[in-house]
Structure 1
């Protein structure tokens, strides 16, 4: 049986599969971030992807509220994807702030 949230991707390298251990093992492998923007580009792309996922969930919620939604599972999957994407971006932001704070505490 395939997990309904197996293909979650919010635009961050290494975070593409939350279905099982194999996905977690590949996410733990070190990856290089290529591109000119570095961390800022990854963060910006993550936020853009989060907005798209949340927009999809909002659209399905509106369809559910008006009675136009054919399958309630679609909304549940989209809302779970949006929640997981939000949690991931918030965790990334908190880690970045903690790292910045720790760097600022370093003595020269």
Structure 2
């Protein structure tokens, strides 16, 4: 992961910490979460598309840098694996909340 990707992952935490002293309405929280989720999904999609384009260009013989193609593919794979793990954790957290008794 690059420094930019790590900063992108930490951005929601920084945003949340800035609002600790302020009251955030449920609508604002939902909007912030939705925006963060859309940004993360867009980042994942861009990584996948970039990897696909470079792999296709390599197969067509348009580029010769196998090293760059493999690095891009690995970055794409790690980004997807991270997204899947975050999704699993979110589903587990949701299921745990649903099991709570009120």
Aligned residues between the structures: 90
Given the two structures, how large is their TM-score scaled by the length of structure 2?
Answer: 0.74
Can you give the 5+ residue segments of structure 2 that lack an aligned partner in the other structure? 20-27
1:78 equivalent among 65, 72, 78: 72
Distance (Å, rounded) in 2 between the aligned partners of 1:101 and 1:46: 22
Given the two structures, how large is their TM-score scaled by the length of structure 1?
Answer: 0.70
Going from structure 1 to structure 2, the CA distance change for 1:95 and 1:48 (only over 3 Å counts) comes to same
Can you give the 5+ residue segments of structure 1 that lack an aligned partner in the other structure? 16-29
Name the one with the larger helix percent.
2
Q: Following TM superposition, where does structure 1 have runs of at least 4 consecutive aligned residues deviating by more than 3 angstroms?
A: 5-8, 30-36
TM superposition shift of 1:74: 1.1
User: Highest Rg: 1 or 2?
Assistant: 2
